Amino acid sequence: MGPRILVVDDSATIRDQVRRALQPAGFEVFDARDGIDGLAQLDSAPDTALVICDVHMPRMDGLEMIALLRDRGDRRPVLMLTTEGQPALILRAKASGARGWIIKPFDPMLLVKAVQVLSSPPAVR
């Protein structure tokens, strides 16, 4: 099984769509319903290679979750997957440590490519 990916979204439809896109590409996918659940999942799965995360969720939104991860020293890449497209919000996510942003609905092939890029270890020169 390939890299382990966590998808955090309050929409079961989106969680299923992401799983359906990534599993055939060899990724192991598990999910969480909001930022609080996402943090708990990451605590119990230190080998998670990448997080795919919505912005607006109950209890804890995606940007809050990233900020808490970074406060803990967790540098795992986070890719935002959201209906939001406001540049100010995108900049805020970038400043918080997100590595990418996808506007829903997503193209499964582009999602796979983005995950492949972000979950790969950096090249050493």
Partner 1 sequence: MTELLSVLDAMAFESCQTLASTPAVRRVPTGDEQEPSELVAVIGFSGDLLRGAVGLTGTREALRATHPATLAGETTNPEQLDDWLAEMVNQLLGRFKAHLHRRGVGIWMSTPLLLRGLSLSVASSGDQVHRYELVLSGGHVFTFWLDLNADAGLTLGEIAEGDANTPNPGDVLFF
Q: Which amino acid is at 12?
A: A
Q: Which is nearer to partner 1, 37 or 84 (CB)?
A: 84
By CB under 8 A, name the one of 2, 4, 10, 60 that touches partner 1. Answer: 10
Residues touching partner 1: how many (CB under 8 A)?
34
Asked whether position 99 contacts partner 1 by CB under 8 A, the answer is yes
Q: Which is nearer to partner 1, 12 or 45 (CB)?
A: 12
DSSP state of 20: H
Which parts of 1-125 are beta strand (E)?
4-8, 28-32, 48-53, 78-82, 100-103
Asked whether position 114 contacts partner 1 by CB under 8 A, the answer is yes
HSE-up of residue 7 (Cα within 13 Å, Cβ side) = 24
At its nearest, how many Å lie between partner 1 and the CB of residue 27?
Answer: 17
CA dihedral 71, 22, 2, 72 (to 10 degrees): 0
Asked whether position 110 contacts partner 1 by CB under 8 A, the answer is yes
Report whether 52 contacts 72 (CB < 8 A): no
Q: Which is nearer to partner 1, 16 or 28 (CB)?
A: 16
Tell me which residues touch partner 1 (CB under 8 A).
Answer: 10-14, 16-17, 20, 56-58, 82-87, 90, 94, 98-107, 110-111, 114, 117-118
